[in-house]
């Protein structure tokens, strides 16, 4: 792509960033749709200076990842309702010198479910983990009228805190927090989501045994590298429907594109998935 005086610049801030797949997603779209823009990674140790720099050189917007999704909020002029409920921002649009914050993680997760014709309404959902990812997706699951969302986290107080925050905004939602993993009965759920880091290493055990899982249980693991983490390996052995985290990564990026450019690139999800799988395999 030829960079000139009209090129629009976007990027990702966080630390570290060496394994990010975001540039591949966004630059593919820019090239295919002839958008004069470029997306790069900016490993950031000083958040204040990075934001100041993006504003001063006229960036169109940027994504935010660990460890700045919460820390970015004081620098923004406005954040949307969902990002406010979640308490974290991963996408920023710069318009007329103002910074507008959004969270596309939860929306991306929801869009990925829709891509498989899966509906959330009236479903019972179990989420393993109570960190930032669990926070983002649970807000959107609640918005879509899930019947029940239950949590398990190795740090019980963390899960309780998330459950209380969710209940504050969604009064009719049924919520339970498990202190003992052994008391979880998967027969009570239609969707299981792993939002923990268990499965990132090949030697990791499954974060939850699926021995008594019902045959119609959908198993979604937010981990995308490896593409088949331990939970999904067990789920596939039991012939359960599985989804890995690449789909959420893709759809949250497509949602960010919609915020920045007002364009809907959702039809590119399948092509992008194949590209990213190939990239991960080539990377070893």
Per-position b or e across 253-273, b if 16+ CB within 10 A of its CB: bbbbbbbbbeeebeebbeebb
The helix or strand, by DSSP H or E, that contains position 164, with its residue range, turns out to be helix 156-169
Q: In the predicted model, is pLDDT for residue 1 greater than 70?
A: no
User: Each residue of 61-95: b (16+ CB within 10 Å) or e?
Assistant: bbbbbeebbeebbebbeebeebbbbbbbbbbbbbe
From the number of C-beta atoms within 10 Å of its C-beta (0-12, 13-18, 19+), residue 102 rates as buried
Task: Say what the pLDDT of residue 213 is.
Answer: 96
- 8-102+247-282 and 107-244, same CATH topology: yes
Q: Phi and psi of 37, rounded to 5°?
A: -150, 160
**Rounded alpha-carbon distances, angstroms, from residue 125 to 17, 54, 190, 244, 273:** 31, 39, 6, 16, 25
pLDDT digit string, tens, across residues 212-266: 999 999 999 999 999 999 999 999 999 999 999 999 999 999 999 999 999 999 9
Q: What whole-number distance in Å separates Cα of residue 71 and Cα of residue 37? A: 27
- The answer to whether the peptide bond before residue 200 is cis (omega within 30 degrees of 0) is no
Count CB-CB contacts under 10 A for residue 279: 12
Q: Are 91 and 64 in contact (CB under 8 A)?
A: yes
User: Average pLDDT over the chain, rounded to whole?
Assistant: 95
Nearest CA-CA partner of 224 in 241, 203, 247: 247
pTM: 0.95
The pLDDT tens digits of the residues spanning 43-57 come to 999 999 999 999 999
8-102+247-282: which CATH number, 3.40.50.2000, 3.40.50.10860, 3.30.559.10, 3.40.50.300? 3.40.50.10860
- Residues 161-172, mean pLDDT to the nearest whole number: 95
The predicted model gives 105-130 an average pLDDT of 96
Topology adopted by domain 107-244: Rossmann fold (3.40.50)
Catalytic residue annotation: 69
What residue segments make up the domains of the chain, in order of their start?
8-102+247-282, 107-244
Q: What is the DSSP letter of 20?
A: -
284 pLDDT band (50/70/90 cuts)?
A: low
Burial of 182 (C-beta count, 10 Å sphere; 0-12/13-18/19+) = exposed
Contact 228, 199 (CB under 8 A): no
pLDDT of residue 69: 94
């Amino acid at each position: 792509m030829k960079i000139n005086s009209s090129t629009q610049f976007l990027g990702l801030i966080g630390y570290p960033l060496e394994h990010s797949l975001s540039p591949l997603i966004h630059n593919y779209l820019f090239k295919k749709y002839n958008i004069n823009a470029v997306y790069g990674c900016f490993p950031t140790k000083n958040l204040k200076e990075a934001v100041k720099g993006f504003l001063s050189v006229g960036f169109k917007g940027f994504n935010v990842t660990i460890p700045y999704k919460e820390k970015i909020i004081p620098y923004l002029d406005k954040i949307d309702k969902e990002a406010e409920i979640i308490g974290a921002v991963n996408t920023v649009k710069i318009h007329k010198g103002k910074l507008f914050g959004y969270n596309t993680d939860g929306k991306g997760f929801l869009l990925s479910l829709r891509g498989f014709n899966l509906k959330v309404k009236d479903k019972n959902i179990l989420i393993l983990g109570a960190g930032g990812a669990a926070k983002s997706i649970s807000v959107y699951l609640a918005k879509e009228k899930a019947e029940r969302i239950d949590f398990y986290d190795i740090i019980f107080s963390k899960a309780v805190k998330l459950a209380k925050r969710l209940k504050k905004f969604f009064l009719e939602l049924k919520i339970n927090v498990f202190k003992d993993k052994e008391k979880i009965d998967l027969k009570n759920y239609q969707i299981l989501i792993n939002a923990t880091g268990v499965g990132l290493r090949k030697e990791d055990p499954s974060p939850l045994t699926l021995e008594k899982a019902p045959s119609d249980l959908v198993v979604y693991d937010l981990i995308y590298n490896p593409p088949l983490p331990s939970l999904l390996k067990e789920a596939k052995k039991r012939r359960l429907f599985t989804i890995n985290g690449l789909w959420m990564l893709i759809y949250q990026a497509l949602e960010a594109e919609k915020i920045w450019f007002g364009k809907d690139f959702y039809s590119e999800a399948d092509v992008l998935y194949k590209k990213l799988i190939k990239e991960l395999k080539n990377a070893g």
